[in-house]
Amino acid sequence: MKIFAVGMNYALHNKELDGTLYIPEEPVIFTKADSALLKDHKPFFVPDWCDQVDYETEIVVRICRLGKAIPERFAHRYYDAVTVGIDFTARDWQRRFRQEGKPWELSKGFDGSAAIGEWIPKERFRDVQALPFHLDINGKTVQEGCTADMLFSIDALIAYISRFFTLKTGDLLYTGTPVGVGPVHIDDHLEGYIDQLKVLEFNCK
C-alpha cells in the first residue's frame, strides 16, 4: 500500500502558510510511509520531538484497481470510496526543512501522521468534486473546506500521479487541505465530517 498526499492544493491555505495565493503549475506530490496510517479510532500520540504538530483535514480517496498512465477522463474508474483524513504535520520541522531547501518527508511521514476515517462508497455522493467537509476539535469546528475549491481535481491528481507511479488496489490519496490548519494538543478530541456525516473520530494523547 502506498500513501500519496498533495501539498498546496487550496489557494487560501497556500496564503496562510506563505502569505501569497500561490498556484503551482503542477501538483505538489509527496508520500507517507505505510506506518503513518492511523485507523480504527486509535489515538494519535503527539510526538515529543517537535514543538508544534498541526492538523490538516483532507478528503481521501481509495484506489480500487491497477493503473498506470491513466487518462484524466478515465480516472474516476480508479477509486471507489472517500473519507476524511488528517495529514498531521510537524510544522516547526517543516519550516526548517523548507528554509534549508531540504526534503520535508520527516515532518509529514512519521508514524501515525495519516489518520483515516471510515470509507463511504463514492456513489453515495452526487459529485465527489463538490463535497463539503470539516473538522471539529473538542466540539468546535476548526476547519472547513469543499472539494470544489481544489486547484487540481481528484481525477487530475490521479492522472498526474499515475504517470510516475503504478497505482494499486488499496493505495490512498490525500487530496490536500483547505485554509484553517492549526495545532493539536494532548487530550484533544477530533471528529471529521463529510457534510454532516461523521466518518472520523479519535483522541490525541
pLDDT at 181: 95
The CA distance from 58 to 177, in Å, is: 5
pLDDT of residue 14 exceeding 60: no
Question: For the chain, first and last CA: distance in Å?
Answer: 26
Q: Cα–Cα distance between 31 and 11 in angstroms, integer? A: 21
DSSP 167: B
For residue 19, pLDDT over 70 is answered with no
The 10s digit of each residue's pLDDT in 153-203 is 999 999 999 999 999 999 999 999 999 999 999 999 999 999 999 999 999
Is 137 within 8 Å of 187 (Cβ atoms)? Answer: no
Q: What is the pLDDT of residues 63-101, one digit of tens each?
A: 999 999 999 999 999 999 999 999 999 999 999 998 999
- In the structure, what pLDDT confidence band is assigned to residue 50 with cuts at 50, 70 and 90? very high
The number of residues in the chain equals 205
Q: What is the DSSP letter of 70?
A: -
- The whole-number pLDDT of residue 104 equals 87
- Dihedral sign computed on CA atoms, order 36, 124, 7, 70: positive
Those residues whose C-beta lies under 8 Å from the C-beta of residue 102, and which sit 6 or more positions away, are none
Among 119, 116, 120, 133, residue whose Cα is nearest residue 201: 116
The whole model's pTM is what? Answer: 0.95
User: In 122-187, at which residue ranges do the beta strands (DSSP E only) sit?
Assistant: 132-137, 140-146, 172-174, 182-183
Q: Which of 38, 78, 42, 49 is nearest to 161 (CA)?
A: 78
